[in-house]
Amino acid sequence: MQFESIVIRVFDVDFMLFDLVLAGLWILLLYKKRLVIPLVFGLFGILVNFIVDYCYWYSILGIRTVEGLPIWMSPLGFFVYFSITYGMIQYSYVQVMFMRRPDQPRTERGNRIKWSLFLFSGWLAIGLLSNIFPINDSKVTVARVMTDQRITEVYAVIAEYALLALLALKNKFELSPRRILYIFLVGIFVHFSMEITLFLAGMRASSVFDIIFNSVFEFNTGAPILYLMMFVLIPYIEKHKMRSPQGFPIESSTD
């Protein structure tokens, strides 16, 4: 069983500048809001994205390609940039969505809405700004041939959510059917936001099938793992009294 699939994005060189600015603002806001756990997971996301994108897809499998880079940027440099922007934002965002304030439900809901709006509007804005301002309109084309990877992604998502269901039956990790559905929807939203904002800005040259498939499956290959990792990381950080320079406490765990 295979799905013919080549995922492509074409963007101006100056898009990378706007993308880095957005990532910088995102990190600054996380720091200002004292969201230590999301920041830690964002750093973890940078590492994971680099290993998958550059080390595995680009260097080993050869299914990731990049063309049209400016002379001052190597493929290695590009994938460092690529990992920083999407790794930090996506991985930290899902942790913001998983964290909870059971004693302040309205604040919790408001925070989730605000971060979701920031995520979506920020990604859309940088794509549109790149189109409007002709700082450097040289085209960069990034593609990955996912034909042989699609079925693996499907199996991974099924296996991971089956694991969550099993853990829910055993009353582990605060899981319930509603909670599992929430994790799944967060995984869809974070990737759909990237896909649709690229599409609206004219940068995503993929089929409707690829956009839908990517949105449903790609980030959900890791969302359950990220959820479970919190139950390991948060106690570890609290044990070592990890605090900001101002001494702010760790935000609470999951929803």
Instruction: Report how far residue 198's alpha carbon sits from residue 203's, in angstroms, rounded to the nearest whole number.
Output: 5
pLDDT for 101 equals: 72
pLDDT in tens, 3-37: 567 888 999 999 999 999 999 999 999 999 989 88
Q: What separation in angstroms does the CA of 104 have from each of 111, 137, 219?
A: 11, 47, 28
Strand partners, 66: 142
**pTM of structure:** 0.88
Domain that holds residue 200: 6-239
36 assigned to some structural domain: yes
Task: Please give the DSSP secondary-structure letter assigned to residue 247.
Answer: -
pLDDT in tens, 80-129: 999 999 999 999 999 999 987 767 778 888 899 999 999 999 999 999 99
Tokens, residue 59:
């260097």
Which residues make Cβ contacts (< 8 Å) with residue 107, sequence separation at least 6? 101
253 assigned to some structural domain: no
252 assigned to some structural domain: no
19 assigned to some structural domain: yes
- Asked if the model's pLDDT at residue 248 lies above 70, the reply is no
248 assigned to some structural domain: no
How many domains, the chain? 1
